[in-house]
Amino acid sequence: MILTNEEVQANLKDSQGWEMEGNKWIRKQFILPTFPKAIQFVNELADLAEARQHHPYIIVDHKQLTVKLSTLDEGGLTQKDFESAHAYDKTYQRYT
């Protein structure tokens, strides 16, 4: 179920730096210490995404990753996006 604008804003307020991009995506940039660590992090995100059957859009630029989430089959943001964002943030904490 698509979240209302108020629900999206409340979830963003509780998130760890996720931002709106357009009206259907949330995004966050992650900085890793090395390129191999960045790829290791991407692989962990891939495993989480596959287990959840909710796949992110990921851009790898050396040690910087941009991760974007949207529930495309619903046409916008759902609670799945914010649950995935939270799981990705927890995973990232192990790299900092």
What are the boundaries of each domain within the chain?
A: 5-93
The C-alpha angle 84, 53, 31, rounded to 5 degrees, equals 40
Q: What is the pTM of this model?
A: 0.95
3-state secondary structure of 27: strand
One digit per residue, pLDDT tens: the chain, 96 residues?
A: 999 999 999 999 999 999 999 999 999 999 999 999 999 999 999 999 999 999 999 999 999 999 999 999 999 999 999 999 999 999 999 998
* CATH code, 5-93: 3.30.1360.20
* CA atoms of 45 and 87, how far apart (whole Å): 9
CB 82 within 8 A of CB 15: yes
- Residues paired with 27 in a beta bridge: 19, 68
